Structure 1
């Protein structure tokens, strides 16, 4: 991948600057914007150069597809071929943190790079009012992965975006902190049975209540080895802070930072509690901010790593543990 061009002045736009953000997107520039999950790095999905600029800004592998965002379901379904399951899920969960992977319409004008050259597209309708206002104003499909450098912790505030992408993108539309805090659930509907590609903001139990049993995708290592990922967020080492992450910690040393859940383990050099009360929704919303803070504070204090306490494997705990497993994966 080519090195990015010279730094540009990144504008921090207030919430009432939607027209300015839309104009930048329509002109082929990159604009970060808030969704209910994390901040997205938006580009006109029909503009090949703009889409390429997303990968350039993020340093993102080209085989990892992007999610295309729309203001309402029928706009999304104009680019893909929905079945009855897709329409049922859209009625139940859109706007909201659910991405559907569906067959691409032959006449779709979305750039092939946005779908990593596959015959599918990942589409969703976000629930954040500022995201919807921007999508309505620009009236274009907007390809938007998380607005961070590839492999780094996902951003849940405008400040996080600027930490990683200032000088690489035209603007960030500041909508405050993201309420959900983990990315959207990604569901593949291209086969006979639905397959969960990435747990996220909509628990799999809710999906199964709507459409019946949901299968699970390949293990992460096998998915990455195939290099034909149908979904964003399926790289093995992803969401990674600079300090190494140790999972399922039952104890912690003074030379470690602690990512706590519930009553914190004693003795850590620094502690961030996802949720003292054990609330998985609160934990999800605080996850990426916590990893960022522990990484920065642990580095400042000379700590050797981050110890993560166990999080239950249910509901949003699946998404949290998915992110933590990627953060702890060996770096290639």
Structure 2
């Protein structure tokens, strides 16, 4: 299959692909998603095949407003409506119980719930409205690999497997949306993201922020809950924010292969790195690091000589919670330690 690169002015062409039951990658403010008609079961199954994604991993349904949610979900609570009014369009995905047989089990991963999001990207909204249907949209990458933040990342993973990529340049946030489960008695954050737990509590009060992962045999209720995810081929190691980076530099010098270094500029520019260190800047702070994390992991995935990647950790609060969630899963919880 030839994969077309569409510009924002080509939304009608991308929408025609969707209507035919084909797949089109689309931009959002978080990462690029892989779009298919959420009401077309055959098209949805193509998403799993293109990504190599387990079919028990549910998909997010992207909509252009609350009306589409009300069409498929059971009546929304007042708290749910408050969240939608406050955070949509934006990087908050909300899980609701569905009306009977409202959406295919291929969308829900066999569950009686579905995750909905109204993205804050006008090109994406135009695509939904022009296609006339809600779109499923997992990240547009090979399953388990770092999520794509540019159209080039998508093309690298999925060329020849999908009909098109709607290119709107680099994404703004760089990590996926927060996923909030509103189908339980106590709302629960299943995946941290661009909307923080503190912001959600300010709107609806009590929120459970304690479960972001599932075991290998447990079916996830939301994307990104697998223990190891977002992982490049090289082993990622988390270097804690209070670690001795000069010691880390000495460890790198003793390695037989190249080592990727992903840190903020304050560290990157003030350490004597050995010749086998390959640096990648995460910018100035946790906000820029969140924006650049997947880009850096993908950069080193294209460097076969890099066998390990040392990546700076941050305090897991605010946006740092989303950053550390993705970094921990890309590293499989592995932290860098100097054995004495």
Pick aligned residue for 2:178 from 176, 185, 188: 185
Matched residue count: 316
**Secondary structure in 2 matching 1:216:** coil
Q: Which moved more, 1:48-57 or 1:76-85?
A: 76-85
TM-score by length of 1: 0.91
Matched, 1:87 2:71: no
**Secondary structure in 1 matching 2:25:** strand
1:36-75 counterparts in 2 under 5 A? 36-75=29-68
Matched, 1:274 2:282: yes
**Structure 1 residue runs of 4+, over 4 Å off?**
none
TM-score by length of 2: 0.89
Over alpha carbons, which structure has the higher Rg?
2
Following superposition, the deviation at residue 294 of structure 1 comes to: 2.8
Following superposition, the deviation at residue 77 of structure 1 comes to: 2.4
**What per-residue deviation string (whole Å, max 9, x for no partner) do you get for residues 55-111 of structure 1?**
000000111100000011221222112211111100000000000011011251x22
**Shift in CA distance, 328/143, structure 1 to aligned 2, threshold 3 Å:** same
**Please, what is the CA RMSD of the aligned residues?**
1.6
Equivalent position of 1:3 in the other structure: none
**Secondary structure in 2 matching 1:149:** coil
Following superposition, the deviation at residue 281 of structure 1 comes to: 2.2
**Secondary structure in 1 matching 2:35:** strand
Pick aligned residue for 1:208 from 201, 206, 210: 201
User: Could you tell me how far apart the structure 2 residues matched to 1:33 and 1:209 are?
Assistant: 31
Query: Which consecutive residues of structure 2, in runs of 5 or more, have no partner in the other structure?
Result: 335-340
**What per-residue deviation string (whole Å, max 9, x for no partner) do you get for residues 154-212 of structure 1?**
00110000000000000000111100110000000111111010001111111111111
Equivalent position of 2:259 in the other structure: 256
Query: Which consecutive residues of structure 1, in runs of 5 or more, have no partner in the other structure?
Result: 1-7
**Secondary structure in 1 matching 2:231:** coil
Following superposition, the deviation at residue 226 of structure 1 comes to: 4.7
